[in-house]
Amino acid sequence: MVIRHNVTRSTELLEPVVYSLSDHGKNKVNPPRPFEAIELGDVDRPLVNHDLPDLPDISEVEVVRHYTRLSRLNYAIDLGMYPLGSCTMKYNPKISEKVAAKIGNIHPGDTEAMQTILGLLSNLEAHLEEICGMDACTLWPAAGAHGELTGMMIIKKAMVERGEDRREVLIPDTAHGTNPASCTIAGFKAVKVPSGDKGYLEASTLRKLINEDVAALMITNPNTLGIFEQDIAEISELLHENGSYLYMDGANMNALMGIARPGEMGVDCMHLNLHKTFASPHGGGGPGSGPVLVKDELAPYLPMPWIVKDEEERFRLLTNAPQSIGMIHSGLGNLSVLMKTLSYISSLGGKGIREAAEVSVLIANYMKKCLKDSYYLPYDTPTLHEFVLTDKYQKERGVTTMDIAKALMDFGFHPPTVYFPLVVTGAMMIEPTETEPLDEIERFIDAMKQIDELSRKDPGAFSSIPRATPVSRVDEVWAARRLVLTWDMVESIMGEPPSK
């Protein structure tokens, strides 16, 4: 294929991999050879690689243009609204980036400077404990699912210490999709619990299912329908009477922060998604961070290192806690995300944190009210920061949730989360977040109404939508059946017939 000669300034064409732009002598800057200076000592000579790394031979301007073109094929929160439900794609303030960048210059071997870093982290732990109403915290898990796993390992360890071998973890069908995997990897058996017609887990359902083998319940609150788990107090009582723990997936904490504290609901262990609730770039834009918070009873099992203060009031990292589950991440977790979070919390303050939650709930409810005549609303229980609509009305005209999602892209929006939660057929889970200006909210509502209008007038039109994106309608079934993972494979499948 001769794609390298396809010169364009538009974003319509496939951008080739940077290696295919490489040609001998294009790069006029000699790469450094830092490894030559290293004293090899006892290293087995035949294993030493004397070749330079296989980097593309390409000029600076080509590199810059390549990545700039790629960035224009992408969608980002800096371009427009990104209402992906349960993902809290809020705007990421640039001041947090600046703060995190400064910290990045500090070398971990600089013990004095590290006192500052550990002090900031200790401060962040205290903030998160305050927001959640919990007693202790670990900042190291790398993302939400890693936090879930860490939390489940802590609960497993607590069971071992108690001399019990409970195997079941109950998970409502409105919880996050990663929960069953996390508890399975920690050695438990995931048991699905049906939520009621009202869209939340009723205490009466739990009463029927609870037994001596239940180690914990893993609940997402508010759940993926955006509904607050209003039986939570009774649920936590039931669990505690049974000797079981209450785990809360805090991915939707944006609806609660500054207003309601999981610790006061009886939660024993939970994780936060700092990249969601506390505004650091995610979804391809940066790493995550999923701190775990626990009550005192579970604190001895927190992963190491622990940030502690010695007799001289200096911070140090404790690495010999006897009951700890051990290490779960190298270094200090995803430090840059932790610093962005501290910056975010410090900028907003207590009042600002609460206001962010309130506005996120207000905007989601305004949007729901404006859209519920055009799209079917499967649960009429009040919702918080997100809500679920379905394609029930549009499907009668032959237009599905996937068609609606694709059409939204033509209006310049990222689609909402689709076909999740699984308890709702044809779900569209919409979370606008508090950072969207009213104009953008109105534009989204208007786009959704226009799409509904189009489904009445010309349902056939959807088959060729989207048109305004770099790549038009893709054949998802074919893509899933025929995995293409490298650029070489792209060439090998050119010309193959699509699946239907």
**Can you give the binding site for other proteins, defined by CB under 8 A?**
378, 390, 418-420, 422-425, 476-477, 480-481, 499
Q: Which residues of 50-75 are buried (b: 16+ CB within 10 A; e: fewer)?
A: eeeeeebebeeebeeebeebeeeeeb
Judged by CB, which is closer to other proteins: 291, or 421?
Answer: 421
CB of 86 to other proteins, least distance (A): 15
Which of 456, 444, 499, 447 minimizes the C-alpha distance to 477? 499
Judged by CB, which is closer to other proteins: 458, or 476?
Answer: 476
Judged by CB, which is closer to other proteins: 425, or 492?
Answer: 425
Using an 8 Å Cβ cutoff, are 272 and 220 in contact?
Answer: no
CB of 324 to other proteins, least distance (A): 34
Which of 140, 116, 117 minimizes the C-alpha distance to 128? 140
Judged by CB, which is closer to other proteins: 85, or 266?
Answer: 85
- Phi, psi angles (nearest 5°) of residue 197: -65, -20
Judged by CB, which is closer to other proteins: 378, or 459?
Answer: 378
Judged by CB, which is closer to other proteins: 317, or 479?
Answer: 479
CB of 402 to other proteins, least distance (A): 8
List C-alpha distances in Å: 133 to 231, 324, 447.
19, 22, 40
Using an 8 Å Cβ cutoff, are 252 and 220 in contact?
Answer: yes
CB of 447 to other proteins, least distance (A): 23
Judged by CB, which is closer to other proteins: 292, or 408?
Answer: 408
As a whole number of angstroms, the distance between CA 382 and CA 379 comes to 8
Q: Which residue has the tokens 């035949």?
A: 46
CB of 177 to other proteins, least distance (A): 9
CB of 230 to other proteins, least distance (A): 20
Judged by CB, which is closer to other proteins: 9, or 500?
Answer: 500
What is the separation, in whole angstroms, between the first and last Cα of the chain?
A: 25
Helices 335-371 and 94-103 meet at what angle, rounded to 10?
170
As a whole number of angstroms, the distance between CA 83 and CA 80 comes to 10
CB of 65 to other proteins, least distance (A): 34
CB of 73 to other proteins, least distance (A): 22
| Total count of residues recorded for the chain | 500
Judged by CB, which is closer to other proteins: 298, or 418?
Answer: 418
CB of 481 to other proteins, least distance (A): 5
